Structure 1
Amino acid sequence: MENLYFPAVSIITVNYNGVRFLAGLFDSLSRLDYPAEKIEIIMVDNNSSDDSCEFVSRKYPNVKIIRSDKNKGYAGGNNAGFRIARGEYIALINNDCTVEKQWLSGLVKTLLQQGATLKAGAAGSKVLFFYSYLLLEFNTGGMPLLVNDFIINNGEKCGKLGVCGPQENLCRSIRFISKCSPASRSSDGTVTSWTLNDGAVIAVPIADENNDIALTMEISNSADIAGELAVSLGEKERKARIFSGQAQPEVSKIRLEIQKKYFDYKVDLVNSCGIEINRSFYARDRGADAVDAGQYNTADEIFAPSGSSLLISRRMLDETGFFESSFFTYYEDVDLFWRARLKGWKVFFCPESVARHHHCGTGVEWSPLFTYHVLKNRMITIFRCGWCGIFTRSYFAFIASAALAAAGCLRQAFHSKRCSRPDIPVRLRIIFEFFYLMPKNLISRIRIRSTKRIPDSEIKKFMTVF
């Protein structure tokens, strides 16, 4: 770095049955352009049943391993790492990530530069999806298209779409970018089929740049007659048609052959460039699923960094405290950085720091467990950190939406129709749990709100519309 000051950094990753990802992570950490003697690497293992600990002990003896006797989740696992970390700064990286050479030096440089004049507490990376992608546009002649059972090359048939998958099940890494909507879900809440409207765009991962891609899928249209279907590869003025045919009312199978000569059309997709919030304090990843075209190449101040890749000042943790361990996973980053902001700490985005993320590599997005933790932890975060009005409005809006959804399902059941809303029991459970969760978190709320150093108007500045 320009000032040649390299503070000691502890890098923490939390692992649960993620052995298939660990070589990629630790190999990439070994290639950082940061002095190795200034780096401490800690892996917190959440009682994995695979051979993660044995693998790391054997292949990466420099990694300190903390073995938990139970799965403490993201929050509890990182808190265990915080307690033994010796660094002036602490980096967190998901176990299903790999990092680029300047990942750490970029984060440290950002905090040192911003900290010269501001109370800089954390910096977040540009997190891209692990694979590069090819964009496919479906022109359906105005008729919606139902698609499912994707297969890439000779991999497994994909029953859960838009999640993430290792190389042997690449179809799970397909991204549904625009004009796509879930058509059906499995009993655990994951999407099993999609509706593609005219002009829909999906992104297909490239795992092997030396071989062509064959994408097979089952399709049907919503009309009583066959409709024209054209599939183009690329974006804007740079497109190549790779399929022309018909979509029948009956289910049929099509195969798209993508030759490797088209791989120079590939793009990187953003997973997260930080966390943004709306007026109801729902959080989302900034830039998610956007093509990385340089639009996120400025070191902006952000509300919070993505929990998948960030650097935190030890001084900030000492003042703010650790993650709320009762959260297990999801919204713990929003909670921590809301608390930090109330104490005057600032958070920045660092575009020079790049990580690649499989995303839900050891979890299932929108499974009942995922839904439970996201919705419950959002409400607890608002109760602990927020002003009275936002919690009251959010809680009663949550009750109303759950009641309307339950009533809709009852109407469908009355007409002998199947209701595919596995989230409704989860929402009802959260409503009743809050009768004891609010008293349980009341002391935390009093402490957080009574010690805040900035007005809530400073938090409201980060609220956007989505």
Structure 2
Amino acid sequence: MLRNCLSSIFKSSYSKSKFEVIVVDNNSHDGSCAFIKKNFPKVTIIRLKENVGFAMGNNEGYKHARGEYIALLNNDTEVDKNWLTELVAVAQDSRVGIVASKILLQVPFVEVSITSSVVQQSDLDQSTNFSPRGVLIEDISCPNSDCRDLIWYSTGFDKQKVLSGVGLRWTTGKATVLLPILEEKNTFSFVFHGYPSNDSQLPMNAKVSVKNKELCHFSLSPNSVFNKKITINKSTCADNLVWLVQNAGNLLLKDGYSKDIGSVTRILGGSVEEFYEPDSQFFSQERKLVSACGAGMLIKREVIEKIGFFNQHYFMYYEDIDFCLRVWKHGWDIVFAPKAIMHHTHRATTGKTESSFFISMIEKNHLFLLLTHFSLSTFLQEYFLFGCRLFDAILKQFVFRFKHWDKYQIWKIKASGRLDAFISFHKKIFTFIKIRYWWKSREVRNYNQLKHHLY
């Protein structure tokens, strides 16, 4: 990852004599520093004796920076050659304090359509359920787990059901699925089932296609199975590649939580699935924000000199939102630059097991953000809800301890994380009360103005 990141920076169209690259090593033990010295000797390395987190790590890097602008970049990213040029161009406006990148998912996708004849559920079981039934398809498989985890059943699918360990979905006649293109040659295995009926008058006709190019077509009699391996070559479908937008700035919600602009969340059968929207005209327009993602932003030095940099009490998570709100409240604009494109390997996952540390950071820092920037009524409401979540986790940990070991382990992690957040927050509550009123006395834009930008 580090090689790709640094290589992409030095391929920049921006003059090499006008930028410097600083890598902050947060006490890594994987040979990163030796690798950088050998392969990228022009890079300045700041080695820290311990992992001080994202916030303080960036603060340490800033102390060694000499430029008029400070660009932040995660090590698991790659930038387009015009990324830096576009960021600096947008920053020329004196009212702009921060410029946000368009962050695309590293992997491109191909949208595959599955079209079939349709019957109603009542035709299959003589019920009063008139839901459309197209083709029953097993979870699409591919050679590696990274590929399988990225497959996204976009539209036209019913809720997944698992039978004998096999995931199954009905289509509704026309369905679309996004398949990740990780290699030049990508093979996917499809398994289709005919209608589960003894009625021989219910044959199924279906086809699989990309745009107007048909990949296969078939007919299925009831209770039969059709297996098909489909190979998609990256070079031959270059014109049909779909890039997904991971972040085009952050939306701030009324409860203090945030959401990536580009993220898609849906709830199916009680489970939450998160993915990303395809790049489109909407993401090609420059616009103002109240918050940007710290994985790839440009900041004017004068902004940091006036209001400081990241609040190190956050360690990681929410520190970029806190910083952006301070910048915005002091009168600077935060602008999304659609042509400043970078690619990020991270993706949201479904059903990801959260660590106690992650839960603690999110819960604690959410309260810090509310106490600093939101109304006291909003803070007290969310503080009460946090207390309810803490009590709920401790109670369920106790209830499941002797009955459901798997659930006990899940709630033990949640209880531990929330309890740690509770203790950590109260250790610093008076510090943040002082921070709240210190910033409040200096802001140009207030919370009443911010409310118009909350969702």
Structure 2 length-normalised TM: 0.77
Give the letter aligned to residue 17 of structure 2: E
After superposition, where does 1:4-403 map in structure 2 within 5 Å?
21-112=1-92, 114-115=93-94, 118=95, 120-136=96-112, 152-153=142-143, 155=144, 158=145, 169-175=146-152, 198=171, 202-209=177-184, 211=185, 213-216=186-189, 232=208, 234=210, 240=214, 256-260=229-233, 261-262=236-237, 264-288=239-263, 289-359=276-346, 367-368=354-355, 369-403=357-391
Change in Cα spacing, 1:55 to 1:454, as seen in structure 2 (3 Å) is: same
Give the letter aligned to residue 449 of structure 1: K
Change in Cα spacing, 1:98 to 1:207, as seen in structure 2 (3 Å) is: same
Give secondary structure in 2 for the equivalent of 1:270: strand
Kept in 1: contact 2:252–2:291 (CA 8 A): no
Structure 1: gaps spanning 5 or more residues? 1-20, 159-168, 185-191
Kept in 1: contact 2:256–2:369 (CA 8 A): no
Offset of residue 395 of structure 1 = 1.4
Offset of residue 451 of structure 1 = 2.1
Deviations 1:176-202, CA, capped at 9 Å, x for gaps: 656798999xxxxxxx99886746755
Kept in 2: contact 1:146–1:193 (CA 8 A): no
Deviations 1:208-267, CA, capped at 9 Å, x for gaps: 23x2x22358999xx999x989784557xx575658799x99xx9976423325554321
Q: Equivalents in 1 of 2:36, 2:80: separation in Å?
A: 20
Kept in 1: contact 2:55–2:312 (CA 8 A): yes
Q: Equivalents in 2 of 1:278, 1:446: separation in Å?
A: 22
Offset of residue 56 of structure 1 = 0.8
2:421 maps to what in 1? 430
Deviations 1:112-143, CA, capped at 9 Å, x for gaps: 0x32xx2x110011110111112346789659
Deviations 1:69-105, CA, capped at 9 Å, x for gaps: 1112221211111111111100011111111111011
Q: Equivalents in 1 of 2:183, 2:32: separation in Å?
A: 26
After superposition, where does 1:409-420 map in structure 2 within 5 Å?
419=407
Give the letter aligned to residue 48 of structure 2: S
How many residue pairs get aligned? The number is: 410
Identity %: 25
Deviations 1:21-79, CA, capped at 9 Å, x for gaps: 11211111112111111101000111111111111110111100011111122212111
Change in Cα spacing, 1:50 to 1:143, as seen in structure 2 (3 Å) is: farther
My pick for the range that moved more, 38-47 or 70-79, is 70-79
My pick for the range that moved more, 262-271 or 121-130, is 262-271
Deviations 1:252-306, CA, capped at 9 Å, x for gaps: 9976423325554321110110111111121011022111122211110011122
Change in Cα spacing, 1:262 to 1:378, as seen in structure 2 (3 Å) is: same
Structure 2: gaps spanning 5 or more residues? 117-131, 264-275
Give the letter aligned to residue 314 of structure 1: R
Give secondary structure in 1 for the equivalent of 2:61: helix
Give secondary structure in 1 for the equivalent of 2:388: helix
Structure 1 length-normalised TM: 0.75
Give secondary structure in 1 for the equivalent of 2:437: helix
Kept in 1: contact 2:208–2:217 (CA 8 A): yes
